[in-house]
Amino acid sequence: MTEARHRSPRRARRSLSLLLTSALAAAGLLVTASPAQAESTLRDLAAQNGGRHFGTALTYNPLNSDSQYRDIAAAQFSAVTHENEMKWEALEPQQGQYNWSQADSIINFAKANNQIVRGHTLVWHSQLPSWLNNGGYNGNQLRSIMENHIEVVAGRYRGDLYAWDVVNEAFNEDGTFRNSIWYQGMGRDYIAHAFRKAHEVDPNAKLYINDYNIEGINAKSNGLYNLVVDLLNEGVPIHGVGIQSHLIVGQVPSTFQQNMQRFADLGLDVAITELDIRMQMPADNNKLQQQARDYEAVVDACLAVNRCIGITVWGIDDERSWVPYTFPGEGAPLLYDGQYNRKPAWYAVYEALGGTDDPGEEPGNPGEEPGGPGEEPGEPGTPGGPCDVDYAVVNDWGNGMQGALTVTNTGSSPISNWTLQFTLANVNISNGWNGDWTQNGSQITVTAPAWNATLNPGQSTELGFVADKTGSVSTPTQFTLNGATCS
């Protein structure tokens, strides 16, 4: 259901220094930089930026069944948030009966990998157990239920967690308080009660208020700001503001940095806690490029604010993201696609954090570059083809698959009557579209349809096919367009 490979975006996002390195290497002027050199990781790079963390949300199932997920989680991230396993409905589905095992398992993983854990979340209106939602409790009862929950949960994990999202999503879009059961029962005092109790139970944890749509300066973030000022004046132990950052491609607020700074100026830490940047599906090259720039803008904004102490992305890969389930028609919001290939956004984050070597593919994932890290056709200093092909597995149902290709003319003259060729073993193509598809063994040829015979410079065309699989199918490594090798 998601993209398998994105080539040109990555090349386009390389930093100047990286390009220079490649060019010097190609000219034989660099003798260092052995291809075997270990790449930096996102967690290392974030740490080099003032000790910041770069975290992810994790979920129990893939962590315990999918070694690639686990490897990336361990290698690239220095902070962990439970995506669901620490929410009230997960921990206490029946009153007084607690399920700790999945939450514990994620904490143990974090400890084993030297990662901090953000506790998410103590007091929220959502994902509450039905006994609580439907209990008809009055204000006093709700206060004691809430404080008891904090005592039990924060008490159990005392010392294990770096921070708690004590209160989550307390605001409406217009900056007024959300009419949650907590607000109904206790008014806005529930927030102060929750923070005081959490501090009493786990005095070393950093205590955050966390919300979405508060990235820029707007009515909602103003409401939060005013609350935080009041809480500080009242001596309530609050230490940080969590800015979820569930964003949309092309819509990173221009006041993001300024907004973080005003909270930092109150003496609070700021963290980006649930970053993802979604797009209308299907993804295409332009959207993935824009997404890369958006991720870069978010990282830049954080790095520009001293007290922006870290960034957490809300999941590892697009396939397992909450976005397609929550925002129908939208998806592809994360740094890895469904096959754990690094997307342009990954490289953008890498570079924004100061990565300068060529990181290549995720270790353990098949690379696309036969020449080894750093040498991709089309790099400055090496001859490049006039075309670029992105290949994606849109769907894979075991004995069959659907593939998609985006073919782009990256040269400066039109390509007419184009013929695309590539090798794909173990498939029988049953249907192909947007071109005339023929197959000779593993050699696939697509010729231009009459209505789309010319690709102008910069223009792309989308091709698709459905195939039966007769064995395992890997990603094509070479494409030619009218005989010229594509990047």
Six-digit token string for 59 = 């979920």
Contact call for residues 472 and 425 (beta carbons, < 8 A): no
Q: Using CA atoms, how far apart are residues 3 and 347, in angstroms rounded to an integer?
A: 16
> Residues 307, 309, 311, CA angle at the centre, nearest 5°?
135
Residue closer to ligand XIL (CB basis): 124 or 195: 124
The site for ligand XIL (CB under 6 A) is made up of: 83-84, 168, 212, 244, 274, 322
Q: Catalytic residue, from 274, 296, 319, 376: name it.
A: 274
Q: How far is the CB of 270 from ligand XIL (least distance, A)?
A: 16
Q: Using CA atoms, how far apart are residues 211 and 101, in angstroms rounded to an integer?
A: 27
Q: Using CA atoms, how far apart are residues 432 and 297, in angstroms rounded to an integer?
A: 38
Number of CB atoms found within 10 A of residue 401's CB: 18
> Is 200 considered catalytic here?
no
Six-digit token string for 460 = 């792309």
Q: How far is the CB of 249 from ligand XIL (least distance, A)?
A: 18
- Determine the angle formed by the axes of helices 344-352 and 285-303, rounding to 10 degrees: 20
Q: Using CA atoms, how far apart are residues 104 and 112, in angstroms rounded to an integer?
A: 12
Q: How far is the CB of 310 from ligand XIL (least distance, A)?
A: 16
Q: How far is the CB of 320 from ligand XIL (least distance, A)?
A: 9
CA-derived radius of gyration, the chain: 25
Q: How far is the CB of 178 from ligand XIL (least distance, A)?
A: 13
Residue closer to ligand XIL (CB basis): 242 or 360: 242
Q: How far is the CB of 126 from ligand XIL (least distance, A)?
A: 7
Residue closer to ligand XIL (CB basis): 137 or 208: 208
Q: Using CA atoms, how far apart are residues 275 and 295, in angstroms rounded to an integer?
A: 9
Q: How far is the CB of 241 from ligand XIL (least distance, A)?
A: 14
Reported for 137-143, long-range contacts at CB under 8 A and 24+ positions apart, including other chains, are 137/181, 137/185, 138/185, 139/184, 139/185, 139/186, 141/185, 142/181, 142/182, 142/185, 142/186, 142/190, 143/185, 143/186, 143/190, 143/193
**DSSP secondary structure letter of residue 215:** S
Residue closer to ligand XIL (CB basis): 244 or 460: 244
Contact call for residues 434 and 464 (beta carbons, < 8 A): yes
Place of tokens 């349809």: 449
Tell me which residue has its CB nearest to ligand XIL. 322
Contact call for residues 395 and 401 (beta carbons, < 8 A): yes
Six-digit token string for 112 = 């084993």
Identify any residues that bridge with 484 across adjacent strands, giving them in sequence order: 481
Number of CB atoms found within 10 A of residue 29's CB: 9
**Residue 57 — φ and ψ, nearest 5°?**
-80, 140
Q: How far is the CB of 83 from ligand XIL (least distance, A)?
A: 5
Residue closer to ligand XIL (CB basis): 215 or 274: 274
Residue closer to ligand XIL (CB basis): 274 or 337: 274
Q: How far is the CB of 1 from ligand XIL (least distance, A)?
A: 16
Burial grade of 470 (CB within 10 A; 0-12, 13-18, 19 or more)? exposed
Give catalytic residues, as residue numbers: 274
